[in-house]
A = this chain, B = another copy of it.
């Protein structure tokens, strides 16, 4: 079989299995698609390359970006509207976010929250306000995208929208909400009768002579299986952060970075879709989570290799990471002082300074930063702190404080954890588009194999939110599609 082409259905001697809908990948997007397709009455086969479901979603903190007035928001005393939510997401996840997707996502957010609850995902109505990346308890709601920091606090009314499943094992090591979320959703899928096949790696799409995707060729324990989908194939296999070759071709800034994901995020299914004529968008886009504790970053001073500030330090860590990696080539240092280090004790975790110094000059010598520039930057920052006004980047007053000796610094050049945001171009119903924006018949996709709500920017919870919401829509669309596998059936 030619490795570089889609397989023609006329070449398939016999199908090992025929179902209505095949879902490829059992992370949040795939499982949501499978649940919704099954709920719509379809016979669903879900294929997972790893030994069990969960994917990258199960590794995550489990934050889901929801709003517009969910029960959880209301219980925590926050008012929200789909319009405010959309304003924020368009600003924070752009530029060039798909506004139709955002609109549907925000309008449907309350109902989507209710659906998650119905599936059995537990949320505790408590607001977590410590400066951490995820709740350290089972608290359910937090600011997760810099809504309350510049520049977004001027774009929309700041409201917390990070909804985190209440995991009994939440701790300072993380919320473990992703594992819980995937546990609940996977169990739900199984209860509904979704059939799952683990250790099953999709290698090719099968296409009939009219260009319709009618199935897949998947390898399981060394053997190729020919699996037909009467109504549609939903691709939900994740991004391509674990494929350095594809990164070099499409997202060179991510080459050699530390990855956030499972090794199955190797782009092989994405590529199979591209081979079948699917178009991609913004394949260079990526998230670069800055992996230092917000409790130290927010009150600290971030500088680039010219010892200049480049962002308000109270920004969402994903924004710090994107600016730091893409605009500063990852050459970033965090400066703080003893007071900050001490007062962050409760929430800073085990991180320690790389350098300590009694003077700014000594700090420059330790870090290798240009000494005059560093002295000027610290002096200017201290003046801004004393004046209570950050002229440059609008850092909130509550995080502004002059730096005093002894100083400390963390060399943050390896503190970026990345995943890809570019991928297949899809409609709001998950139809995969070709290079002329025409749907490839029979082919659907959702999650990080697509370009979605987190189009170029990012906020925590946007990916799980996008995966589950548009995963459901893709699964439903495939289940409701007219059966189109005649040619495959006729030929056998």
Contact = CB atoms under 8 A, between A and B. Distances in A.
A434 B4 CA distance: 8
A283 interface: yes
A391 interface: yes
A284 B284 contact: yes
Interface string A242-285: 00000011101001000000000000000100110101011110
Contact of A372 (B248, B277, B383): B383
B5 A211 contact: yes
A373 B384 CA distance: 10
A154 to B, nearest CB: 15
A372 to B, nearest CB: 6
Interface string A321-334: 00000110000000
Contacts of A436: 3-4, 271, 275
A438 B4 contact: yes
A121 to B, nearest CB: 34
A393 interface: yes
A249 B433 CA distance: 12
B391 A380 contact: no
Nearest to A275: B435
Q: How large is the interface on A (under 10, 10 to 19, 20 to 34, 35 or more residues)?
A: 35 or more
| Oligomeric state, in copies | 2
Nearest to A438: B4
Interface in A274-305: 274-275, 277, 279, 281-284
A376 interface: yes
B281 A249 contact: yes
A393 B252 CA distance: 24
A324 to B, nearest CB: 12
A275 B425 CA distance: 14
A482 interface: no
A277 to B, nearest CB: 7
Interface of A: 3-5, 95-96, 211, 248-250, 252, 255, 271, 274-275, 277, 279, 281-284, 306-309, 326-327, 370-373, 376, 380, 383-384, 391-393, 425, 434-436, 438, 456
Nearest to A252: B96
9 contacts: A4-B434, A5-B277, A252-B456, A271-B435, A271-B436, A274-B279, A283-B284, A371-B391, A372-B384
Contact of A282 (B249, B380, B383, B393): B249
A95 B252 contact: yes
Contacts of A284: 282-284
Contacts of A277: 5, 275, 277
A255 B456 CA distance: 14
Nearest to A323: B327
A252 to B, nearest CB: 4
Contacts of A373: 380, 391-392
B252 A282 contact: yes
A275 to B, nearest CB: 5
Given A283-B283, A376-B376, A392 B306 contact: yes
Nearest to A283: B283
B4 A393 contact: no
B281 A250 contact: yes
* Pairs of residues from A and B, 10 with the lowest C-beta to C-beta distance, nearest first: A4-B436, A284-B284, A96-B252, A370-B391, A249-B281, A327-B327, A306-B392, A4-B438, A274-B435, A275-B435
A96 B248 contact: yes
Contacts of A249: 279, 281-282, 425
Given A96-B248, A249-B281, 8 more contacts: A4-B435, A250-B283, A308-B309, A308-B392, A327-B327, A370-B391, A372-B383, A372-B391
